[in-house]
Amino acid sequence: MLKRVHFGPSLLPFLLVAPQIAVTLVFFMWPAGQALYQSFLIEDAFGFSSEFVWFENFAYLFNDKYYLASFYRTAIFSLSVAGMAMGIALVMAAMVDRIAKGVMAYQTLLIWPYAVAPVVAGALWVFMFDPTLGIFAYALNTVGYDWNHKLNGDEAMLLVVLAATWKQIAYNFLFFVAAIQSIPKSLIEAAAIDGAGPMRRFWTIIFPLITPTTFFLLVVNIVYAFFDTFGIIHAITQGGPAKATEILVYKVYNDGFIGLDLGGSAAQSVILMGIVIVITVIQFRFIERKVEY
Amino acid sequence: MRISKYILGAVTAASFAGGAYAQTEIQWWHAMGGANGERVDRIAADFNASQSEYVVVPSYKGNYTETMTAAVAAFRAGEQPDIVQVFEVGTATMMAAEGAVYPVSDLMNDTNTAFDQSVYLPAVVSYYQTSEGELLSMPFNSSTPVLWYNQDAFDAAGVESVPSTWDEVNAAAQKLLDSGMTCGYSFGWQSWVMIENYGAWHNLPMGTQENGFAGIDTEFTFNNDAVVNRLQSIADSQESGIFKYGGRRGDSLSLFTSGECGMWMNSSAYYGSVKSQSEFNFGQTMLPLDTDVADAPQNSIIGGATLWVLRGKPEANYPGVAAFMNFLSTPEVQAWWHQETGYVPITTAASDLSREQGFYDENPGTDTAIRELSLNAPTPNSRGLRFGNFVQIRDVINEEMEALWAGDKTAREAMDEAVARGNALLAKFARANR
């Protein structure tokens, strides 16, 4: 028998990969292509007439001050959510690492929120903070603060950031715990013997060694904040009050499905896709250099 | 032997499948949730029981916006229902879709179904007619805003007569505050109540081209002095607690039913909810008149929704749809629906039947909505509205009004901005539908 180092040509790999490729083509490539095509049209809601207008939809968007304000709002929102979610999860993962007894209990309770669907999470938070009925609103009232996120835009933004972060902390926590546990204990013990305190050990040993995970989570969190938070915003504020929480992805929904302006909505969708591609490319080109594998 | 058993089984199974096609199914998509949804199901069940050829299947699709969006998306996919309930702000969009919509007059003619348009209340029907008098959609649940008031709170505060002008409303609110309440009045569906109906009630136009009835190239004019002054005065009165904002649609219902606010301006169709949720004596009266603007009220315009018939279904369905439309308009069905829900009866026969049954004597005030709608013959300013993209324009108006209540803008700034943004949306609609 000859020992072969490389494999002969075979159909099996292609067959095994084919279903995934089919799913990607049908559910990602085709809708993306459709959106790209529709962004060049102005058509009526029912699809009876359509007019090919080149880049007019895009020009209209960049002249619309409400669209530009939405960019700014989305940036604030996603940086807050990603930053808070990762920061809090890292702190909790570092602390859980130092616990001797009952580690499983802490981990289970901290991971549970991840299992909650975004809309359900939104419904929970909006109920707790409802100005008339909510328990946290009541607590704030007793210390003299009149909470009303239906009128105050900053409070509405705070509420959706809280709800979105709460959900994502669990996901980040899971990854950070695994990453911290994968660091060889001998390194930390050696540092402790040399006299480094917990904070010093964290910043000089643990944090640099989990940078691959941190980088991965950064990409995932930014994409989450851009897209997956739609359910939370729809459940809590529907983009209000007065557009205070209307981030780019919500505006796509609002203009497309409520306003039935399919061309404009498709153009926004294309721009949003472009933004996320650019951000991901930037992250891979520049930040990955700092990751130590 | 085995093979023939399989063949026998297959043939038997196939023969059962044939039985399902005996009755023609008519799909009806609606936005009536809760108690009203149960009433809708009962109406469909009554129709199904009254004949054996057609089965009407009602499906709840969410609120008005969601139902309309679902129907549009379904039409594009070829999966549309036969009947869809669309709210009045979607009228222009539905009308512009001539290949999708089957006007009710044409449906009745084509299926040779007897149909007499004169039995319908003019105020209700005129909103949905073309300029030639052709009826486009069947009125189903129409309402108009009324002024709800807490009779017990009035008695406790010494408010002797029910307010009929804005000055009287403010005076009554002040008395309520003096007697210990924290809020005088609130309102909901604010674009409909405070801008659209305010204009109609005082015979002021909301836009050019007869509020859109005369042409698609219209512009808004609701940033006039009357509206701006009234809204500014309301915003200023928030400070003393006379007015409290509670939400865009019906969210402020709990402010009234919990007894927090003594008065509430919103749809007459909240009758069922107000009756079941409030624990005080309540009443309803006509909208207040702004004596700075007009000497006497004109008439109010309807809200609510109508039933639109969609094209593209099998020909055999349409006679059933026509028969269902006639069933909905019978006095018994309309009188029952009106008395239970607070929606306006769409035919004069139904309101007469309610009167004969003594309903208005036993429940004073429940005929307020009909009286408001038929107060005077509608003028071009009070016939209704027909603006494109109005679903989004309502949201624009809501946003600007919320900025006003929050103190971020003056009424003049809010209304001017609303008109500017609204005109941009109107222009987009005209462009997409030319």
Is residue B156 within 8 Å of residue B259, measured between CB atoms? Answer: no
Residue B207: what are its φ and ψ, rounded to 5°?
Answer: -155, 175
Pick from B72, B73, B245: which is nearest to A151 by CB?
B245
Pick from B76, B391, B392: which is nearest to A46 by CB?
B76
Is residue B342 within 8 Å of residue B366, measured between CB atoms? Answer: yes
Interchain contact, A241 vs B399, CB within 8 Å: yes
- Say which residue, B85 or A286, is predicted with more confidence: B85
* Percentage of chain A lying above the pLDDT 90 cut: 37
Q: What is the pLDDT of residues A82-112, one digit of tens each?
A: 999 999 999 999 888 888 788 888 888 888 8
Is residue B231 within 8 Å of residue B404, measured between CB atoms? Answer: yes
Is residue B212 within 8 Å of residue B385, measured between CB atoms? Answer: yes
Radius of gyration of chain A (CA): 24
CA distance B61 to B30: 6
Strand B138-143 relative to strand B303-310, pairing:
antiparallel
Is residue B246 within 8 Å of residue B398, measured between CB atoms? Answer: no
Q: Taking the domain A50-290, which CATH number applies?
A: 1.10.3720.10
Q: pLDDT class for B251, splitting at 50, 70, 90?
A: confident
The C-alpha torsion from A241 through A244 and A247 to A249, rounded to 10°, is 10
- Comparing alpha-carbon positions, the chain B residue that sits nearest to A66 is B421
Interchain contact, B392 vs A241, CB within 8 Å: no
Q: Nearest CA of chain A to the CA of B162: how many Å?
A: 28
Residue B165: what are its φ and ψ, rounded to 5°?
Answer: -130, 165
Give the pLDDT mean for B318-347: 90
Provide residues of A within 8 Å CB-CB of chain B. 42-49, 51, 132, 150-153, 240-243, 254-255, 257-261, 263-264
Q: Which of A258, A261, A262 to mutate to test the interface with B (most CBs of B within 10 A)?
A: A258
Q: Which of B65, B66, B72 to mutate to test the interface with A (most CBs of A within 10 A)?
A: B72
Neighbours of B206 (CB within 10 A): 25
Identity of the residue numbered B148: W
Q: pLDDT class for B36, splitting at 50, 70, 90?
A: confident
Q: Can you name the residues that pair with B309 across neighbouring β-strands? A: B83, B102
Inter-axis angle of helices B225-236 and B411-432, nearest 10:
130
Identity of the residue numbered B33: G
Residue A46: what are its φ and ψ, rounded to 5°?
Answer: -85, -5
Q: Nearest CA of chain B to the CA of A48: how many Å?
A: 8
0.80 exceeded by pTM: no
Q: Judge whether residue B17 has pLDDT over 70.
A: no
Radius of gyration of chain B (CA): 24
Chain B residues touching residue A46 (CB < 8 angstroms): 72, 75-76, 97, 99-100
Residue A190 tokens read as 């050696």
Give the pLDDT mean for B345-355: 88
Q: Judge whether residue B33 has pLDDT over 50.
A: yes
HSE at residue B270, side-chain half, CA atoms within 13 A, is 27
Q: What is the pLDDT of residues B357-369, one digit of tens each?
A: 888 888 888 889 8
Give the pLDDT mean for B192-217: 92
Provide the ipTM.
0.72
**Residue-level pLDDT at A293:** 67
DSSP B319-335: HHHHHHHHHHTSHHHHH
Residue B153 tokens read as 């709170």
Interchain contact, B408 vs A242, CB within 8 Å: yes
Interchain contact, B428 vs A43, CB within 8 Å: no
Sheet holding B183-187, edge to edge: B183-187, B261-267, B145-150, B282-285
Q: B126: Cβ–Cβ under 8 A, 6 or more apart, which residues?
A: B378, B383, B384
Is residue A233 within 8 Å of residue A239, measured between CB atoms? Answer: yes
CA distance B379 to B428: 28
**Residue-level pLDDT at B7:** 66
Neighbours of B49 (CB within 10 A): 8
Is the N-terminal amide bond of A241 cis, ω within 30° of 0? Answer: yes
| CA–CA distances in Å: residue B192 to residues B198, B225, B330 | 8, 18, 29
Is residue B264 within 8 Å of residue B187, measured between CB atoms? Answer: yes
Burial of A156 (0-12, 13-18, 19+ CB in 10 A): buried
* Percentage of chain B lying above the pLDDT 70 cut: 95
Q: Nearest CA of chain B to the CA of A28: how many Å?
A: 19
Q: Judge whether residue A22 has pLDDT over 90.
A: yes
Q: Judge whether residue B11 has pLDDT over 70.
A: no
Q: What is the pLDDT of residues B252-301, one digit of tens each?
A: 888 899 888 999 999 998 888 888 888 999 999 999 999 999 999 999 98
CA distance B330 to B121: 13
- When the pLDDT of each residue in chain B is averaged and rounded to a whole number, the result is 88
Interchain contact, A261 vs B75, CB within 8 Å: no
The secondary structure element, H or E, covering residue B83 is strand B83-87
Interchain contact, B402 vs A261, CB within 8 Å: no
- Comparing alpha-carbon positions, the chain A residue that sits nearest to B398 is A242
- Tell the CATH topology of B145-300+391-432: D-Maltodextrin-Binding Protein; domain 2 (3.40.190)
Q: What is the pLDDT of residues A179-202, one digit of tens each?
A: 998 999 899 899 989 988 888 888
| CA–CA distances in Å: residue A36 to residues A113, A147, A272, B297, B433 | 36, 42, 12, 52, 22
Strand B83-87 relative to strand B24-30, pairing:
parallel
Q: What is the pLDDT of residues B130-182, one digit of tens each?
A: 878 889 999 888 899 999 999 999 999 999 999 999 999 999 999 999 999 98
Domain ranges of chain B: 23-143+303-362, 145-300+391-432
Chain B residues touching residue A63 (CB < 8 angstroms): none
**Residue-level pLDDT at B395:** 86
Chain B residues touching residue A45 (CB < 8 angstroms): 72, 93, 97
**Residue-level pLDDT at A2:** 67
Chain B residues touching residue A47 (CB < 8 angstroms): 75-76
Residues in chain B: 434
- When the pLDDT of each residue in chain A is averaged and rounded to a whole number, the result is 88
Interchain contact, A44 vs B96, CB within 8 Å: yes
Q: Does B402 touch chain A if contact means CB atoms closer than 8 Å? A: yes
Q: What is the pLDDT of residues A261-281, one digit of tens each?
A: 888 899 999 999 998 889 888
Neighbours of A251 (CB within 10 A): 24
Give the pLDDT mean for A246-268: 89
Q: Judge whether residue B20 has pLDDT over 50.
A: no
**Residue-level pLDDT at B18:** 46
Q: B237: Cβ–Cβ under 8 A, 6 or more apart, which residues?
A: B170, B173, B184, B243
Instruction: Say if B23-143+303-362 and B145-300+391-432 have the same CATH topology.
Output: yes
Q: A156: Cβ–Cβ under 8 A, 6 or more apart, which residues?
A: A149, A150, A236, A237, A240, A241, A244, A245
Q: Can you name the residues that pair with B289 across neighbouring β-strands? A: B165
**Residue-level pLDDT at A26:** 95
Q: Which of A38, A42, A46, A238 to mutate to test the interface with B (most CBs of B within 10 A)?
A: A46
CA distance A237 to A161: 12
* Percentage of chain B lying above the pLDDT 90 cut: 50
Is residue B250 within 8 Å of residue B193, measured between CB atoms? Answer: no
**Residue-level pLDDT at B1:** 52
- Residue whose pair of structure tokens reads 């008109």 in the numeric block: B419
Residue B149: what are its φ and ψ, rounded to 5°?
Answer: -140, 155
CA distance B257 to B339: 20
**Residue-level pLDDT at B19:** 44
Residue B306: what are its φ and ψ, rounded to 5°?
Answer: -130, 170
Q: What is the CATH class of B23-143+303-362?
A: alpha beta
Q: Nearest CA of chain B to the CA of A44: how many Å?
A: 5
Pick from A241, A258, A264: which is nearest to B69 by CB?
A258
